[in-house]
Amino acid sequence: QQPPTAAMSNEFSWEEIRSHTSPDSRWLVVDNAVYDVSRWAQKHPGGSRLLSHYAGQDATEAFRAFHLDQSTVAKWLAPLRIGRVCSNDPERLVAMRTDFERLRKDAQARGLFKPSLVFYALMLAHIFALEAIAYACLRFWGTGWLPYIVALCLYATAQSQASWLQHDFGHLSVFHNRRWDGWLHQLTMSYFKGASAHWWKHLHYQHHSKPNVMNKDPDVRIQPLFVVGKTMPKETAANPKSPYVPYHFQHRYFFAIGPPLLFPVYFQIATFRHAISRRCYVDLACMALFFAKIVVLYRPLLGLGGAFLYYFLVRMIESHWFTWVSQSNHIPMEIEHDRAEPWLALQLHATCDIEKSPFNDWFTGHLNFQIEHHLFPTMPRHNYYKIQPDVQHLCQKYGIRHEIKPLWRAFCDVIGSLRHSGEIWHAAYHAHHMD
| DSSP 8-state symbol, 239 | -
Helices in 339-406 by DSSP H: which ranges? Answer: 343-350, 358-363, 370-375, 384-397
Q: Indicate whether 420 pLDDT > 50.
A: yes
| pLDDT tens-digit readout, 276-287 | 999 999 999 999
Nearest to 101 by CA among 59, 60, 142: 60
Q: What is the mean pLDDT of residues 271-275?
A: 97
Q: So what's the pLDDT on residue 236? A: 95
The pLDDT-based confidence of 421 (bands split at 50, 70, 90) is very high
Q: What is the mean pLDDT of residues 77-87?
A: 83
Nearest to 219 by CA among 101, 302, 65, 327: 327
Q: Indicate whether 227 pLDDT > 50.
A: yes
If asked whether residues 277 and 323 sit together in one domain, one would say yes
Q: So what's the pLDDT on residue 434? A: 67
Give the rounded distance of the alpha carbon of 139 from its chain centre: 37
The pLDDT-based confidence of 1 (bands split at 50, 70, 90) is very low
If asked whether residues 119 and 149 sit together in one domain, one would say yes
If asked whether residues 12 and 126 sit together in one domain, one would say no
Q: Indicate whether 302 pLDDT > 80.
A: yes
Q: What is the mean pLDDT of residues 381-402?
A: 97
If asked whether residues 361 and 411 sit together in one domain, one would say yes
| pLDDT tens-digit readout, 333-351 | 999 999 989 999 999 999 9
Q: So what's the pLDDT on residue 67? A: 80
Rounded to the nearest integer, the mean pLDDT of the chain is: 92
Q: So what's the pLDDT on residue 70? A: 72
If asked whether residues 268 and 314 sit together in one domain, one would say yes
Cα dihedral 78, 82, 83, 88, rounded to 10, equals: -110
If asked whether residues 95 and 41 sit together in one domain, one would say no
**Residue 210 belongs to domain spanning:** 90-435
Sheet holding 33-36, edge to edge: 11-12, 81-85, 33-36, 25-30, 21-22
Q: Indicate whether 296 pLDDT > 70.
A: yes
Q: Indicate whether 174 pLDDT > 70.
A: yes
CB 80 within 8 Å of CB 37: yes
Domain count, the chain: 2
Mapped onto helix, strand or coil, the DSSP state of residue 82 is strand
If asked whether residues 409 and 273 sit together in one domain, one would say yes
Percentage of residues of the chain with pLDDT beyond 90: 75
Nearest to 250 by CA among 211, 217, 223, 269: 223
If asked whether residues 59 and 97 sit together in one domain, one would say no
Instruction: List the CATH number of the domain containing 74.
Output: 3.10.120.10
Boundary (domain end) residue, out of 88, 112, 141: 88
